[in-house]
Structure formats: structure tokens, C-alpha cells
Amino acid sequence: MGLIKYDTIQKPLSSEKRAEMVERFCREKNDLASLVDPSIGDEVVEALKSFGIDVSFDSIECGPVITRVNVRPARGVKASSIMSAETDLAIALRAENLNCVVNSAIGCVSIEIPAQPRKVVLPGNIDVDCSQMHLPLELGVNVSGKGIAIDLASAPHLLIAGQTGSGKSVCLNSIIASLLKNKSEQEYQMMLMDPKNGVELGLYSNLPNVLDNRVRSSTEECVEGLNWLIEEMNDRYSIFSDFGVREISAYNARKNGRMPYIVCIVDEFADLMMDKENSAEFSACIQKLAQKSRAVGIHLILATQRPSAKIIGGDIKTNLPATIAFKVRTPTDSNVVLGQSGAEKLLGKGDMLLDLPGNSNLERIHGVLYSDETLKKMVHFVRNNVYQKKPRRIVANDSAHLKSIVEEAIAIMGNDCDLNFIDTSNVTDMSWMFDFSLFNGDISEWDVNNVTNMAGMFNKSLFNGDISQWNVSNVTNMYAMFQRSQFNGDISQWNVGNVTNMGWMFYKSQFNGDISQWDVSNVTSMWEMFSDSQFDGDISQWDVSNVTNMQGMFNESLFNGDISLWNVSNVTNMGNMFSHSPFNGDISQWDVSNV
């Protein structure tokens, strides 16, 4: 080992590879349908009527975490009367954590009852078309189990808040996973900030599109990163001005335009806000970016587990209009995050409320869970397919040296690797090179001009690659070259004029290609050449006048072609030549006097 030296190159993850990643790691799903007592709607209506509140049943929505019963207030009945009866209704229905919300979109009040048992939302449950989104964030499913995704580019910034254990970190992971599975790393970059020494986001530090390939943890590093973003923002505005465009989508719509979006994710920004030395500068940077960066494709995601007014001040709320609230402790905390109560009644573990600009109602979403193992596999997959080792050119001195290089390359890069980095021009003997090998990679550019011996080269191998352009004019021995192999490629143009031995060449092989124009005039042995093979091609014009041994040549093969004109006058051995074969041709004129 150690013969091959490598350079690391970076290639974009192809759409095919991204689809493979999604298929391998993001298809797991749960049955999210909840078993609901069909009489629950009537029970809710009857309970409310017993409190003197006249309503009628409208519909039921069954999701993985809650069941929502929508009731329509009778004329003159205020929604507030239903809301105020929430505690009494919970007792009547024996439902812990019952919640009543106004659903103005359908003119109802929704009674939300925790589902039993609760279902976990997995990546395969999110079936959303994100193809038209610039920065798709797949968050989870709504109350009815329908997948929910938002476009961060339209948000344009996102505030995430919730108490410890409510699902905030899981949400950040699902956001990054959503970007990984839906968008090329060339379309966006990420700046990651995690004051907890990279505990939450450290897994992603070596992704190819993470700026500086690191997670910033100290306040100084975070402020430095934000100042860089501000410079980048100003530079982009200058570029837009030069090209007469107003925003990134217009710039990227140009024929030669391609500017990546930048997503800045800050986990637990409360720690940064409370740093006495740098908090003012951090806050100022956040405010400046939040106010101006949308148009140039720079977007912020700020997360905290301390949703207090001291942390989420007016400037933060004003400039980060899109909000995800997880469970918080008090109505006051909910009001800080959402501008209203409600988040204190959430059930935790990914249960969230989404507030988007322009939406009149909050949307309740049950967050998707990517396991730590799945996230590691996704990151590993991206890195392995983006960062690739490119072997440096190496000269094989002789057959043994070539064999060692080939074995090392296959061990490191796999059986489908490209071996064209090997200079084979000095090699004269390639016999048994891929004997019993699983190799099926690329050797199409090998220089075989000086090779004289290819005996058994692909014996019992899986190789079926392109070697049509090989110059084999100096080869004299092709004994058992494709014996028992899977090879069935194009070798019709090979110059085999110097070959003398083709014994066992295609024995038990899959080969059935065109070799009708081969010059076999110097071949002396065709012993078992096509024995037990698939070959049934045209070899009627072959000059076999120098062949002496045709023993078992078509034994148990499929051959049944025309060989009536062959000159076999020098053949001495035709033992079992057509044994167990379907051959039924005319060979009545053959001169077999020397057999």
C-alpha cells in the first residue's frame, strides 16, 4: 500500500446522487393515522351545550399528535365564550392539555385534543414539492398529517424559540437536512454559530458549503462572521447596481449569473446577547442584516431556549417576522415570541406554532425527527461524494508493479474505479491481471502497445468495460483471456494478426460480439476456444490454415454458423470439437486428412 498519491478535488453533488441520498436515508415513515372515537364530535358539542354554549359540529382533523374538532358557534354566540370554557371542557372530556383556538379561515373554533398514542413524524412523512423554493425548509406535518415546508427566501428571516426539550435543536437539524436533500451545495452556503462549543451544529462543520468549514462558537468569532456578512451584503448590492438588478433572483436569472444564497444559523443567540463586551455589536449586526440582507440572498435563523423580553427585544421581533414557537413555560413567554398566548399549551417534543408574515392564523405543526444516525449518514454521504480523491499519474514499471497498483486502487476506490491514471506503456505482460476479479471500472485508455501476453487477463472476472480502442497488435498470447468472464464488449476492430494462441479464449464466457474481421492467420491453437460459450457470430471468413489444434472448440456452445469454407488441412486434433453443441452446418468439403 502507499504506491498511489492523491489530490483531493471538489465536485458538485449531482442530482442523481442527491436522489440516491434521499432514497437511502430519508424514506422512513410512520403511519400517522390516529384512531379516533367517531363520537368525539358529538361529545364536544354536547359538553359545550351543557355549559349553555350553542354550537354545531363542523369537521374533525386527525393528526399524529392532536385531534382537532371544529365546531361552528350558533348565531349570536361569541367565540370567546367557547375559549373561556376551555378548562371545563377539558374536565368534561377527560382530556389533558386541551386547547381551544379560533380558526377564522373556516369560521370555527377548533378544540385540540392530544392524540393517544402520539405518533413520531419521520422524514418519509414529509411529501412536499419543494422544486420551486429557493431555500426549502421542511418542518413537519400539520394537524391533518399534510407535509409543511416554507421557503426561507420568502420569510425572509426566522426566529425559533422554545423551552429546553421542546424540539428547537431537532428543528434546526431538520432545517439543515431539508437544505441538504433539496438543494445543491452550489446554490447556498451556510454560516453556523453555536455558542455551546459546536455541540449542536458541529456535525456540519466540514460540509463543503459551510463557510470557513467551521462552527463559530465564541462571541468574537460570531461577531466577526456577522461583520463579514455585512461586507458581503454591501458588495452584493454594488454588484446588483452594476448589473441593474434589484434582488438575487433577478441576478441569478441572467444567462451567466449564479450567486449562492447564504443562510446564517445562530443557535442559542441568547448567550451572545448576554455577552457584556460584544452584545451591543452583535445586536447591531443582527439588526442591520435583518433589515437589508433579504434582497441579496442572505437570510438569518436565530434560535433560543430563553424566550424572554430581554432576549427577544422589539428590534428582533420587528426584523424577524417569521416565527416558530415551541412549548414555553408561561403565556407571557408565548406573548414575547408570538405576540399572543398559545405556545404555553403546546405538547413539547416538536409540537410547534408557525407564524408567517401575511398569515392571519398560526399554523400548528408537528416537527419531523431526523435521528442522529440519519444525519451522520447524510453528512457522510455528501462529503464522500463532493470531496473526491483523484489519483496522480503513476508509471507501472512492469507486470508485478502494475498488479500492485491495481490492487491498491481497487481496495481504496472500489471495483468500479477509473484506472486510467496508470501509465501502462512499459508493461509487456498483462497475463492474469484481473483473474477472479470483481473489477468493472474504466481501463479504456490503457496503453497496451508493448504488451505481448494477455493470457487469462480477465479470467473469471466481472469486467465488461470498453476496451475497443486498445492496440493489441503486438500481443501473441490470448490464451483464456476472457474465460468464464462477463465480458461482451466491442473488440471487432482489434488487430490480432500476431496472436498464435487463442485456446480457451472465450470458454464459458458471455461474449457474443462481432469478430468476423479478425485476422487469425497466425493462430495455431483454438483449443476449447468457444467451448460452453454464448458465441454464435459470423466467423465464416476466418483463415484457420495454420491452426493445428481445434479440440473441443465448440463443445457445448451455442454456435451454429457457416464454417464450410475453412481450410483445416493442418489440424491434427478435432477431439470433441462439436460435442453436445447444436451445430448442424455443412463441413463436407473439409480436408481432415491430418486429423
Angular region, 532: left φ>0, alpha ψ -120 to 50, beta rest: left
Written as tens digits, the pLDDT of the chain (595 aa) is: 689 998 877 888 889 999 999 999 999 999 887 777 778 999 999 999 999 999 999 999 888 989 999 999 999 999 999 999 999 999 999 888 899 999 888 999 999 999 888 899 999 999 999 999 999 999 999 988 899 999 999 999 999 999 999 999 999 999 999 999 999 989 999 999 998 887 889 999 989 999 998 999 988 999 999 999 999 999 999 999 999 999 999 999 987 778 999 999 999 988 888 887 888 898 899 999 999 999 999 999 999 998 888 888 777 888 898 999 999 999 999 999 999 999 999 999 999 999 998 887 899 999 999 999 999 999 999 988 888 778 999 999 999 999 999 999 999 888 999 999 999 999 999 999 999 999 999 999 999 999 999 999 999 999 999 999 999 999 999 999 999 999 999 999 999 999 999 999 999 999 999 999 999 999 999 999 999 999 999 999 999 999 999 999 999 999 999 999 999 999 999 999 999 999 999 999 999 999 9
Residue type at 89?
L
H/E stretch holding 100 reads strand 99-103
Which residues make Cβ contacts (< 8 Å) with residue 129, sequence separation at least 6? none
Q: Taking the C-alpha atoms of 5, 6, 7 and 13 in order, what is their torsion angle to the nearest 10 degrees? A: 170
State the cell numbers at 494. Answer: 482489434
Spatial contact of 265 and 190, defined as CB atoms under 8 Å apart = yes
Rg (CA), the chain: 36
H/E stretch holding 150 reads strand 147-151
Q: Which residue do the cell numbers 448576554 mark?
A: 274
Cα separation, 271 vs 65, in Å, equals 32
Please count the other Cβ atoms lying within 10 Å of the Cβ belonging to residue 49: 13
Q: Which residues of 253-277 are buried (b: 16+ CB within 10 A; e: fewer)?
A: eeeeeebbbbbbbbbbbbbbbebee
**Angle, CA 429 vertex, CA 424 and CA 434 arms, to 5°:** 80
CA dihedral over 236, 238, 239, 244, signed as positive or negative: positive
H/E stretch holding 373 reads helix 372-386
